[in-house]
Amino acid sequence: MDNGELTEYIKHYLEKDKTRSAIMLTGGWGTGKSYYIQNELTPALQRKKANECITISLYGLKSVSEISKSIYLELRAKSLQSRNETTATGRLIAKTIVKGLINRFGIDLSISQDEMKKLYESIDLSEKLIILEDVERSQIDILELLGYVNNLVERDGVKLLLVVNEDEITKSISVKENPENNKDSALPANTTKQYLAIKEKTVSDTIPFEGNCYAAVQQIIRSYNNPILSRFADKSSAENICNIMSLCKNHNLRSFIFACQKSVDIFEQMEEKYTKDTSFVQCIFFGIISFSLRLKAGKNTEWGYNIEKYSIDLGTEKFPLFDFCFNYITYHKLDTSKIPAAMAALKKRRLYDKDKTQYDRDLQTLFNYQQHYESDVKKAIINITERLKDPEDISFYDYAKLAVYLVKIKYFLEKDIDIETAKSLLIENLNGREDDLVPEELFFPSYDILSEVEDPNVKYECEEIQQKMESALKKNTQAIPRFKYLPEEAGQSFNNIIENRKAIFRNGYFAKELDIPELARMFSDCSPVQKYHIRNIFLAIYGSENDNIKAFSKNDAPSVEKLLRLINADMQKPMEDKIQKLQYKLFSENLTEILKRLS
């Protein structure tokens, strides 16, 4: 029964059922029962003015008189809102509630008939549905509660919906009679038969709540009215989110709402240049969903000794959890300075993802060309050639295999297809990526295919491409990757250089490629933490990990010496901030030690 069918069933019960019994909606915690009642059932009933829901949570309530009080107060609150909409005719008077109020609050039983009539008439439940939620979370004895419900529905004719997690109530049904095995049960074993007997008398129908995960997810996202979060209110995103819930074995919507709130908090603090990247914000949101589901389920959520900018264990393989998100959710501190590095780490991860084109349609057409029309194969080659212009599209680990098939098909079609542009892009896109790829894994898939090639022309051209691809991997195209002389880019420059330092070590130079006066000016404008990043760039390049320091001695010593002079000169200028002065002193000491190492 989907949500729409469930609503129609409840409307039928409210308007036409004559059994004088309650109905029960049962489902696991966090599966969306309360969300359904608040956002679907209640609005649907309110469209017909005569129908109304009185929803009461039994969470923490200790007696049935407290239920009576809650219903009474809820009714009074609603009557104050629409005092002129009520009518004195056709009222259903719930005497059980009045008796509960009298017993609980010591109302004088000798009050006049007129006053008693007013009290009765103030509790009009005509065409109203009483909804009692969180039954299993109340402190009221379940048998007493069902007796109270039975009085309401059987004697007073009230329409009542119990919303429960019946698994929590009836745990003892499957427990052996040994009391020791039953100590954690919500319901003592000796009351199980009584519970079932009273339930059979009181509740006519028990409906398992199936819910609609996709619709609920979409509604929750839209309810935040956040333009960034709203990008994921479409059906495809909702399916992805529900798949994450299935992966985590947890469909708790309260945890999902928590994830939405934390994501919105973060999005509101991010700069537009980051939020406009939908792929990045999707990873933030979906990673937080996965983490929140684990967190609220009490599973292990320790970051541990992970030094990466993200955690696959706390997120998912496709949508890892970023460190700045983990810190915000766990320690309530949002460090936006970590966002650029996280974005760069995600981009790099996806750039070198082995499986991202595993089921790619164009590649599969090419790899199984015997099963397709010639026109389809040619179209796939045209598509692939265009896609290779974006190095982030097709996995690098498909390149060698792709090259072999391009050549095979070219000769099979008697050279009636141009593959030269594709070949050039396959080589060009691999430039300088040896440190980030595993060459053996890149070329291995092509070996078996090549071994079956009989045409010497095909074999020669394939081997020629592979040799060029191997050379391209070793080629370094950027001695100092993306170095910018902007204080706000200091942290990002540090991350970029650290990621590429092996290539820099092989080159044997670093400082000589820098604009030293511009770097000194940048350093003077930096905050203490930005100065810290600049110092650590030099310590990383000229530290003990550099096994090619002799080459650096010849190439970089003059530039480092020039930078030291400029830093020492700036250090003599008046500075009120003692921390800034300390950073100058530390950089001067760092450069002095580096010069000794280069000498």
Question: Residue 371, SS3?
Answer: helix
Instruction: Report the mean per-residue pLDDT for the chain.
Output: 84
Q: What is the pLDDT of residues 393-416, one digit of tens each?
A: 899 999 999 999 999 999 999 888
Q: What is the pLDDT of residue 554?
A: 78
The whole-angstrom separation of Cα 456 and Cα 464 is 12
The DSSP result for 444-464, as a single string, is: HHHHHHHHT---HHHHHHHHH
Write 574-580 long-range contacts (CB < 8 A, 24+): 579/528, 580/528, 580/531
**351 with 385: CB under 8 angstroms?**
no
- Alpha-carbon dihedral sign for residues 172, 176, 182, 184: negative
User: For the structural domain made of 3-208, what CATH number should be given?
Assistant: 3.40.50.300
- With tokens 């009290």, the residue in question is 119
Contact 458, 502 (CB under 8 A): no
> Worst-scoring range by mean pLDDT, 126-130, 154-158, 495-499?
495-499
Greatest mean pLDDT among 10-19, 86-95, 122-131 lies in: 10-19
Residue 312 CB contacts under 8 Å (≥ 6 apart), including other chains:
320
State the pTM of this model: 0.60
Q: In what order do the strands lie in the sheet with 52-57?
A: 52-57, 128-133, 159-164, 22-26, 203-208
Residues in Cβ contact with 31 at an 8 Å cutoff, skipping those fewer than 6 apart = 209, 211, 251, 252, 253
Can you give the pLDDT at residue 175? 46
SS3 (DSSP) at 157 = coil
Residue 16 has pLDDT above 50, yes or no: yes
C-alpha 192/C-alpha 149 separation (Å) is 18
**Confidence at 84, pLDDT banded by 50, 70, 90:** very low
Amino acid at 241: I
What are the structure tokens assigned to 521, written together? 């000016």
Q: Taking Cα atoms as reference points, which of 135, 148, 129, 124 lies closest to residue 12?
A: 129
In DSSP terms, 131 is beta-bridged to 55, 161
The yes-or-no verdict on residue 460 having pLDDT over 70 is yes
pLDDT higher than 80, residue 291: yes
Task: Locate the DSSP E strands across 293-438.
Answer: 310-311, 321-322
Can you give the pLDDT at residue 102? 52
What b-and-e string marks burial along 464-497, b requiring 16 or more CB atoms within 10 Å of the CB? ebbebbbebbeebeebbbebebebebbbbbbbbb
Rounded alpha-carbon distances, angstroms, from residue 238 to 33, 136, 213, 221, 294: 18, 30, 8, 9, 19
Spatial separation of the C-alpha atoms in residues 487 and 521, rounded to whole Å:
10
Mean of pLDDT values over 508-518: 85
pLDDT over threshold 50, residue 131? yes
Q: Does the structure show a pLDDT above 60 at 93?
A: no
- Looking at per-residue confidence, does 451 or 329 come out higher? 329
Contact (Cβ atoms closer than 8 angstroms) between residue 429 and residue 399: yes
| Residues 6 or more apart in contact with residue 296 via CB below 8 angstroms | 30, 250, 252, 254, 255, 258
Which two structure tokens, joined as six digits, stand for 49? 């003015």
**Is residue 507 over pLDDT 60?**
yes
Beta-bridge partner residues of 461: none
Helix axes 64-81, 95-105, angle to 10 degrees: 110
pLDDT band of residue 129 (cuts 50, 70, 90) is very high
